[in-house]
Amino acid sequence: MNDWEQVGLIARFLRGRKWYGSEWYITVAGAFILFIVISSTLLAPLLAPYNPIKPAGGRFEEPGAGKTVIVVATGTTNITKPADLAGQKVAAKAHSTGSVRAEALKADVYPALSVKKALDSLAAGNVRAVLLTTQEAQKLLPAYQGALKTVGKPFGITFYMGTDNLGRDIWSRIIWGARGILLVAILAALFSALIGIPLGLISGYWGGTVDRVLSLIMDSIYAFPGLILAIAMAAMLGPGIVNIAVAISVVYIPTYFRITRGQVLSVKEELYVEAAHSLGATASTIIKAYIFPNVVPSIVVVFSLNIADAILTEAGLSFLGLGLPPPTPDWGFDLNKGRAYLPLGYWWPITFPGAMIALVALGFSLLGEGLGEILNPRLRES
């Protein structure tokens, strides 16, 4: 056993597996989900194959599509790889993945109404090559047996989750999108903690009129539907990461206030606080040295659960069009856009971003739940 396994929080945590049973696994599952999501969004430049805010292919390409092949007339010999297309006359269906790729290769692109029309004009000798996806090639090429052939290997990276209404790669938007939502949620939780905790300390420690007034205000906000308050504030503040974080943070100030105040009230009665008092310790010393450390474990738990909530609130705001300014990748806003195309049966633009919101919220919930049981064993049901 290493030294670090014997002392401190990590040791407690590792040994926890035996003590806490299912709660330990819940915590680890939550931490694992968050580790995967956070590290993948930090590695977004490496993991995301396409620019999340630029069209990467045709509109609504299905998940798994995205590989492109070059088709030329049977006799052509000078085009064998994608780079050979530069400056050549190339036909592709307008706004399709083929035409986006041909543009990127600096070819002289001739947009056609359909893939078949593009192939026809190639067969007629009007253009030098046609770009189309492998799926389209499989379907349409056999009709041109003998006249046209594919050259080179299929190129381009698969759209693992398809493309959206603007032809942007959903997988890349997912990977990059975690940044905005996580940043907003964590900032919001921090803001509310920074306001709620000191107010809770003051209110709980001094009591009296201050306590009564603060409690009334906080209880009123707490009772109010948070999202509606956040909607009103976000609408007034306008889009932007900090603005949304501020709008969300107001909703959660009472959560921190209440938990801190409750803890202070119970700790205040302890003998060691009384002893410190009689030794002449000042209020600030007592709060810093005796009361605050007792509040921390509860706050860690609340913080984690709060981020889960803030993520759902951010997603809700951006679903209503009050989130980050487009074209920033934002899962909630992507759902809002994808929703319009749902009746046409395009399931992928709405399925993946929503699943990610749920996954991240679940990660923070599990972490908070598990930590709650581990750090506050007294709360555990027997």
Q: Name the residues that contact another protein, by CB under 8 A.
A: 22, 216-217, 219-229, 231-233, 235-238, 250, 308, 312, 315-316, 319-322, 332, 335, 339, 342-343, 345, 347, 350-351, 354-355, 357-359, 361-362, 365-366, 369, 381
Please say which residue, 98 or 349, places its beta carbon nearer to another protein. Answer: 349
Sign for the CA dihedral angle at 352, 358, 361, 365 comes to negative
Query: Least distance from C-beta 379 to another protein, angstroms?
Result: 11
Q: Would you say 247 or 273 has its CB closer to another protein?
A: 247
Asked if residue 365 lies in contact with residue 305, where contact means CB atoms within 8 angstroms, the answer is yes
Q: Peptide bond preceding 327: is omega within 30 degrees of 0, i.e. cis?
A: yes
- The terminus-to-terminus CA distance of the chain in angstroms comes to 32
Residue 113: CB minimum distance to another protein, A? 27
Of 79 and 357, the one with the shorter C-beta distance to another protein is 357
Using CA atoms, how far apart are residues 325 and 328, in angstroms rounded to an integer? Answer: 6
Contact 367, 191 (CB under 8 A): no
> How far, in Å, CA of 165 to CA of 142, rounded?
30
Nearer to another protein, 104 or 379 (CB): 379
- The minimum distance between CB 217 and another protein, in angstroms, equals 6
Considering the complex, state which of residue 290 and residue 352 has its C-beta at the smaller distance from another protein.
352
Question: Nearest distance from residue 224's CB to another protein, in Å?
Answer: 6
Q: Please state, in angstroms and rounded to a whole number, the distance separating the CA atoms of residues 274 and 277.
A: 5
Name residue 93's beta-bridge partners. Answer: 112
Measured from the CB atom, the residue of 110 and 348 that comes closer to another protein is 348
**Shortest distance, CB of residue 188 to another protein, whole angstroms?**
16
Pairing of strands 129-133, 68-73: antiparallel
Identify which of residues 12 and 212 has a Cβ nearer to another protein in the complex: 212
Angle at 295 between CA 360 and CA 13, to 5 degrees: 55
Rounded to the nearest whole angstrom, what is the least distance from the CB of residue 216 to another protein in the complex? 6
Spatial distance between the Cα atoms of 197 and 268, rounded to a whole number of angstroms: 16
CB of 55 to another protein, least distance (A): 24
Beta carbon nearer to another protein, 146 or 343: 343
Short-list 165, 160, 95, CA closest to 350: 165
Question: What are the DSSP calls for 85-152, one per residue?
Answer: GTTSEEEEETTSHHHHHHHHTT-EEEEESSHHHHHHHHHTTSSSEEEEEHHHHHHHGGGGTTTEEEEE
Scanning 133-270, the segments in alpha helix (DSSP H) are 134-140, 170-206, 208-223, 226-237, 241-268
Closest approach, Cβ 262 to another protein, in A, equals: 16
Nearest distance from C-beta of residue 41 to another protein, angstroms: 18
C-beta closer to another protein: residue 124 or 235 = 235
In 3-state terms the chain splits into helix, strand, coil percentages (rounded to 5) of 65, 10, 25
Closest to another protein by CB, 72 or 361: 361
Q: How far is the CB of 303 from another protein (least distance, A)?
A: 16
